[in-house]
Structure formats: structure tokens, C-alpha cells
Structure 1
Amino acid sequence: MKTYVSDVFPKLQRFSEKLDNLTLLTEQHWVSIDNIHNTKQVYNFRDNNDLLISTDGKIEKGKWEYLGNKSLMIEKPNESYLFKHGFFDENILALKIDSKNEYAVFVNENKYNGDINSLEKVSDFLENKYIESSLKANNFHSNETLSHISQSKVEKVRIEKIKKLERESNKYFIILIVIIAITGLLIYLDS
């Protein structure tokens, strides 16, 4: 099992599922991206903790177990591994070798049929899906907030104009009443 050093997985932790989400892990066809162009190696984590590893159609049986504390053990006939949570979603499974900064990386074959077949493509896919979409969403919310602020300012200006018109109208109304009263008084005094 080939492993890779990558800095993309730690950056994406907030988007990752927990490794104990066994319904997302099990009964999927997780294709290892190591040497995928020459050899196709598929890991199938079964509900009964059996692990089926198919290498170009040849099956090797092993075991797997979620150990808690974000740890997963994989037993193959000749070797065993202790992995820590690296990154996990419905598309990508990155398992970090315990005490190392190296990852075994798998792509869910049920979701992608060979499109994502290298660490670079995995990194690009994850960065596009999570980081760029997050930035776009933040930008959208910022624009929405600015639009809301602009609308709020327009509404405040409109309200101020209405209040000013009301004050002016009240002033003219009072002047009109005074004129009518004086005119009435003058007419009364003249008669």
C-alpha cells in the first residue's frame, strides 16, 4: 500500500466526516490511488469487519476494525496497519499512518469511475469542492450583506425624506391655519 505526504487533508478537517461513520465506509468500493494506472486495487470494508482487497480481480481477504479515537486497524495476511483519520467524505478516504505524516488515499469507485486517479487530482477535487466553494459562499454572503446594507441605507434615506416632508407639511399647515385665522379676524373686525 503506497502512501503519500500531503498538506491538503489537514486543511480540510472541518469538512470531513468522522471515521466512525461506518455506513459511509462500508459496502463501498474504495480504490487505492497507488499505481492505479498499472494496477487497480479495490478495498471493500464489509459490515462484519471482513476486508476484501481486489487487485486486478484477484481477491485477498483481511480484517478491519474501527478502534475508536479516530483509529482504524487494517489487517492483511502478511502485515497490519494502524491508521488515523485523515479525511473522509462520500468520495475520498484518506487514512493517515499512525505517527507519520503519510496518507493512504482511496477514491469511492461508486461515485467516480477512474476520473480521480492521482494525488494531484484528489487534491484538486477536494480544494474545488470545499475550499473554493466555501470562498464563493463567503463572497456571496458578503455581497448579500452589502446589498442588504445598501438597501438599508436607501430605506433610511427614504424615511428621512418622508419625515422632512411631514415636518415641512406641518409647518405649512400651521402657517395656513394662522393665515385663515387672521383673515377671519380681519373680516370680523371689518364688519
Structure 2
Amino acid sequence: MSVNLHNTIPNLNAFDYERHYDSHFINQQWVLVNGISKKKAIYTFRDNNVLEIERKDTTIKTSWNLSIQNIFTIETEDGTITVKAYFKDDDILVLNHQDKEEFALYINTTNYSEELNSIEDIQEYLKEKYKKKVSKVIHKHEFYYISKSKEFGPCTVEELKAKVDNDDISAYCFVRDINEDNYAKRLRIIDLVQEL
């Protein structure tokens, strides 16, 4: 993975055929985020190695192949390119170009009812997506938190809220779910409390 990609989008998981192919990748509608404000494109990777690229009123059919593990070759208007596939989340796909310092970011809109046509639409989509994710996590788990460079917990969200209300800790302390081993998601107590 290029340093540029790693710095721009941390915590990527490599495409795993067993985990991702059927349930998260194939026959899904992937909206290309790069350049969406100029020209919207929807990519659909089909089972028979056909890649459909839908733009406005036209659909281009080309081909793709899985070479090894998470390396794909894709036939484009400019020729064949080789990319490595990563998932940021189940519905955020990143294809990292292997010959250039470039990557393409896609959002799976197959189960999303609104259209993504602009950067603002994408921001709203991501805001809603992570809001739902947080609210699911809130009521099911306990959290550790960092305050003054020390880790405390685990605590429920209600306990964290009480500590904030009593001015025992800051609402901006980072938290992690008890099932996670780091604070990479950058969740804060305030993010959890807003969803109560």
C-alpha cells in the first residue's frame, strides 16, 4: 500500500475473497467518489468478470480479473491497470493503483435509498452511516476511555455521561469499545452521548 494511501485513509483491510467477494463486492453498485462533482460514475463488478461503468445515460462494459489475493486487473479506456483492493468499511472500497501514486475511493450505494451526486451528498451519507454505527454500538457495549494519558474503564455510556455531567472527565476524551484494542476510530465521549 502506498504511503500516500496509508496516510490519507488509515486502517484499511485488504480484500479477502472469502469474506468480501459474495457479500460485499460482487454485483454491488459502487459510486466513484473521486471526481463526483464533475461526473458521477457507478461501477458494478459482475460475476462473469464484466465491469459495468454507468455514467449519466451510458453504460460501458469492460472487464476485470482477480489476479492474486487482493490484486485486480481492470480494463479501462486507457488500457489495463493493476490495483490492490482494500475495504475501509463494509461499504467503502479503495482501489490503489499499483503503477502510480493514485487511488480510487468508492461507496456502496446498493442498499442506500438516496442518490449520491455531490460531495455534500457523500458527506451526508457518511454522517448518517457513522451515526447509525455509533448508536448500535452504544447500547450493546462498554467502553474504555483515556483521560490525562491514562486508560480507565470499562464503563457504560450512561456512566460516562454521569462522569462528564459531574465534571470528573472531559466530554472530549477518546473512547474505545471493549472489543477493540486501540483508539483508531477516534470516537469521543461526546460522540456517544449525543446518540443517547
TM-score bin, normalised by smaller chain: 0.5 to 0.7
Q: Which residue of 2 aligns with 1:69?
A: 69
TM-score scaled by length of structure 2: 0.54
Q: C-alpha distance in 2, partners of 1:114/1:86? A: 24
The 2-side partners of 1:121 and 1:19 are apart by 27
Stretches of structure 1 lacking an aligned partner (at least 5 in a row): 148-191
Once the 2 structures are TM-superposed, how far is the Cα of residue 55 of structure 1 from its aligned partner? Answer: 1.3
Amino acid at match of 2:21: L
For the 8 Å contact 1:64–1:75, the answer to whether it is kept is: yes
Structure 1 residue 18 and structure 2 residue 22: aligned? Answer: no
Does 2:143 match 1:139?
yes
Q: Describe the shift of the 1:39–1:9 C-alpha distance in structure 2 as closer, same or farther (beyond 3 A).
A: same
Aligned to 1:38, the other structure's residue is in SS state coil
Superposition RMSD on alpha carbons, in Å?
A: 3.9
Give aligned pairs, total. 139
Instruction: Supply the distance in 2 between the matched residues of 1:76 and 1:103 (Cα, whole angstroms).
Output: 15
- Residues 19 and 88 in structure 1, CA contact (< 8 A), matched pair in contact too: no
Q: Whole-Å Cα distance in 1 between the matches of residues 72 and 116 of structure 2? A: 27
Provide the rounded CA distance (Å) in 2 between the counterparts of 1:76 and 1:85.
16
What CA deviation, in whole Å up to 9, does each residue of 1:113-168 have, x standing for no partner? Answer: 3459549849x65x947x979x9756266126xx9xxxxxxxxxxxxxxxxxxxxx
SS in 2 for 1:110: coil
TM-score of the pair, normalised by structure 1: 0.55
Identical residues among aligned pairs (%): 23
Distance 1:104 1:52, change over 3 A: same
Distance (Å, rounded) in 1 between the aligned partners of 2:73 and 2:88: 16
Contact 1:6 1:103 in 2 (8 A): no
CA contact (8 A) 1:61 1:76 kept: no
Gaps of 5+ in 2: 145-152, 160-196
Choose between structure 1 and 2: higher helix proportion. 1
Residue in structure 1 matched with residue 104 of structure 2 by the alignment: 104
CA distance in 1, matches of 2:27, 2:85: 19
C-alpha displacement of 1:46:
0.5
Distance 1:132 1:97, change over 3 A: farther
Higher-Rg member (1/2): 1
